[in-house]
Structure 1
Amino acid sequence: MSSMNDTGVVAGPASGRPGHTHRLRRLAGTGFIATLAAMAATTLAAALAQAVGVDFEIPDGGESIPLPGFAVVTGFFSVVGIAIAAALLRWSARPAARFVWTAVSLTAISLIPPLIAGANTATTTALLGLHLVPAMVVIPTLARSLR
């Protein structure tokens, strides 16, 4: 009767790269904190803009954007950014550089809707600034985590 001894086989991480799971967890944790900070900063900036008279009224529907809406949209797109960063961490040889390029490009594209919405100048200017606030929080934070 023959017997097989498998003691020489050791299973490694699923990704095949030691420390990959740790880096991904660190990225997710850092991204979550950056997302919360971006949501708070954007909502605070929107509240300050409202306090000085910006109405955030979009002409098509005639309704104003509510303050919680800024937090929700910021949170959603920050999570999208974390997912992009995680994918680049997994599949890119230069994840930080690729992430910055991608995130800055997407931020630039996000500036188009406020410009074509037809809102008054104060609302348009405030919305443009409110697109840049979370970008200034999330992009550098995630880029540092990817290095």
Structure 2
Amino acid sequence: MNSMNDSGVVAGPAPDPTSRDRRFRGLAGTGLVAALAAAAATTLAAALAQAAGVDFELPDGGESIPLPGFAVVTGFFSVVGTGIAVAFLRWSTRPATRFVWTAMALTAVSLVPPLISGANTATTTALLGLHLVPAAVMITTLARSLRARTG
């Protein structure tokens, strides 16, 4: 009697761990450069809005959002977005598609606080636009980078 123990596994070269590490480091580096660009673009847009007369004053406490605050918050959430992209590259079969949908959903959620803040119309409108500036930079850059790294 013949018995065959075939698990369906085909022998081949083992995946190169350094190649995989390079993909992750490359995506992380791209994300960090994009985060700096997004922070600079958002801060510049906020400065232009402020020069046009937007006060960025929120009703809870009456203080204005300082320009460096835009850079810090944008940088922080851009790094978080880069981490999400790296996670999708590691654990998803379609990382670019999953990242774009997740990032768009998170961007939509980020638009809620300006809408419910109670700030004047100019401030609310500017804040909404300032959420879209870094989203445009980060989502397009990271999605393009994910597509390039996955073939």
Is the TM value for this pair above 0.5? yes
Q: Which runs of 4+ in 1 moved over 3 A?
A: none
Rounded Cα–Cα distance in structure 2 between residues aligned with 1:11 and 1:55: 55
Instruction: Report the Cα offset of residue 22 of structure 1.
Output: 1.0
Report what 2:131 is aligned to. Answer: 131
Q: CA deviation at 1:131?
A: 0.1
Shift in Å, 1:19: 2.0
C-alpha deviation, 1:61, in angstroms: 1.2
Deviations 1:18-70 (A, max 9, x none): 62111101101110110010000000000000001000000011000000000
* Equivalent-residue separation in structure 1 for 2:61 and 2:122 (angstroms): 18
Partner residue in 2 for 1:68:
68
**One-letter amino acid matched to 2:21:** T
**1:109 matched to 2:123:** no
Structure 1 gap segments, 5+ residues each: 1-9
The separation in 1 between residues aligned to 2:25 and 2:90, in whole angstroms, is 12
Aligned residues: 134
Match of 1:5 in 2: none
Partners of 1:12 and 1:112 lie apart in 2 by 44
Cα distance change, pair 12–52 in 1 and its aligned pair in 2 (3 A): closer
Identity %: 78
Determine the C-alpha separation between the residues in 2 that align with 1:65 and 1:42: 13
Superposed, 1:47-62 pairs within 5 Å as 47-62=47-62
Which letter does structure 2 place at the counterpart of 1:47?
A
> Tell me, which stretches of 5 or more residues in structure 2 are unaligned?
1-13
The 3 A distance-change label for structure 1 pair 144 and 67 is same
Matched position secondary structure for 1:119: coil
For residues 42-101 of structure 1, the C-alpha deviation after alignment (integer angstroms, 9 at most, x for no partner) is: 000000000010000000110000000000000000000000001100000000000000
Q: SS of the residue aligned with 2:63?
A: coil
2:94 is aligned with 1:90: no
Alpha-carbon offset, residue 12 of structure 1: 5.5
